[in-house]
A and B are shown apart, each in its own frame.
Chain A
């Protein structure tokens, strides 16, 4: 199994912008993460082959950054910020609320594989705290009511076969 043509094309399209092959590692990991939802050992091997890098290099980088998930995630990744400004504005209540609503703790994925819930550190949205991310989209100035509404919407969108939380993505275009 190799990387998809789409990923290869995207990365080949930006290759000329960087002086080294290794510089393409983060972009390629991003594309794999987007396409598959996580970065498996097989994907890392494929990336290594594609960029002429040893697997160990790919692994050490993939495991350093929190955005690369080394295990399968839910289709909807709910990440609530609990750092200082969000915390001061009641982020912990939001975590409880989401936890109750989804029936999982932070750090877990629902049994149907639809939702993952996590606490994250600072989204640079302190002025519109509390904030969270759903996949690639920010949601700010949250209340328990708006949180529940957003989760409900995500669920019905997902059930209707829509892609959730990637509103601005244009495939094949980096970034």
Chain B
């Protein structure tokens, strides 16, 4: 309806509603599956990297870093202290754990071969012979589906030795996480992949120098890999044209919360948040109040700010971020203090604890919000929240601490009246709301 982009076509999801779309037979028959791999293997690695660079593909894991550039950071012929060649690794980040984000799961279950093909092409591009797919631990079924897809790809000769007669060898291995949001952060993921606690590492050295098992490594998101076959098959120009000047292609947006048709939508980037809410069936149960545009850590927008386009740059200009594409919609029955507390409780639980600013800060923030909800808040608290956030952002090993300040700061800034009212009237009870069960600390909170 509002797809007013003449160049737009779905890159990743053209067939995800068809039966058996997850099978290798379907992928080969209906989606030209593994043809891009055939083409890529005839290109030099540097040419593949160049194609992806020119396509303007930006990483879909959250930070939006240009993918081709990331690949080009990988050393060409790394050697160890004795002059022996070192292996290079490619790692797929399938830890998807940002509240509001659920797009990778769709790719995993509906079009796993697109991601596998993208990963093999990426492996060729950075001259790596081995890839690890790090999957969030709760995805038991998804991990098995992916294993089946990998087995099928081996059986057809797209993985393994001498792929399609090109002389290129590539192996893919699945590794399961065990329930820790922080393992989505790429260096925490690498530690976890090594069988350690998922604690982020100090950078530098960057993963391109010292990554998985001490070897040069490149970490990309599921959706990032899934976009690659299209770019190789149809050419960078077509992909670049679909996006904006600084960001090519389409985006997978997971819309959840108070809309009539929540779900994952593959969309062009020249749509506003309001357009996307329309596409997702419009508001449910009330008028629009607030939106979190890019997963839990993206600062909130008020209803009157939702006329903003959803490409990386427009959202950044609006003081928030495109993040991981999780659009959370809230109607006017929601109390923002309560909603923010829901998020802060999550961060409090998931901080890895290495940095005191983050460990203590996320704990304090959650407790302060709880106190305000319970009726013990003061006006000073509201200023204090900003102060704590100021001491967290940019001061830590990883960007988790920044992520915590996203919801905390933006909600107080943009819905200050609501906070003041709650402080004045004595918490949730004072404004005539009952405390939700999930906000009571019931038993061990796991």
The residue of chain A having its C-beta at the shortest distance from the C-beta of B105 within the complex is: A124
CB distance from B149 to the nearest CB of A (A): 12
- B330 lies within 8 A of chain A by Cβ: yes
Partner of B342, one of A14, A84, A133: A84
The residue of chain A having its C-beta at the shortest distance from the C-beta of B137 within the complex is: A67
CB distance from B212 to the nearest CB of A (A): 8
Contacts of B339 in A (CB 8 A): 84, 87-88
Contacts of A99 in B (CB 8 A): 437, 442
Q: Mark A141-152, 1 if CB is under 8 A from B, else 0.
A: 000000000000
- A29 lies within 8 A of chain B by Cβ: yes
Q: Which of B140-180 contact A (CB under 8 A)?
A: 140-141, 143-144, 147, 171, 173-180
Contacts of A96 in B (CB 8 A): 437
- A76 lies within 8 A of chain B by Cβ: no
Q: Is the CB of B181 within 8 A of A88?
A: no
Q: Is the CB of B256 within 8 A of A30?
A: no
- B98 lies within 8 A of chain A by Cβ: yes
CB distance from A84 to the nearest CB of B (A): 5
CB distance from A108 to the nearest CB of B (A): 5
The residue of chain A having its C-beta at the shortest distance from the C-beta of B172 within the complex is: A17
The residue of chain A having its C-beta at the shortest distance from the C-beta of B435 within the complex is: A92
Bound Cα distance from A157 to B102, whole angstroms: 30
Bound Cα distance from A72 to B197, whole angstroms: 22
Q: Is the CB of A92 within 8 A of B436?
A: yes
CB distance from B279 to the nearest CB of A (A): 13
- B138 lies within 8 A of chain A by Cβ: yes
Q: Is the CB of B437 within 8 A of A107?
A: no
Q: Is the CB of B141 within 8 A of A136?
A: yes
- Residue pairs across A and B with Cβ atoms less than 8 A apart, 25 shown, are A19-B87, A20-B195, A23-B175, A24-B195, A25-B196, A29-B178, A61-B195, A65-B178, A65-B179, A83-B296, A84-B343, A88-B258, A88-B334, A93-B437, A95-B437, A106-B442, A107-B442, A119-B445, A119-B446, A124-B104, A126-B262, A126-B328, A127-B256, A175-B135, A175-B144
Closest 8 pairs (CB-CB, A-B): A107-B443, A65-B178, A82-B438, A67-B179, A107-B444, A25-B195, A126-B256, A66-B179
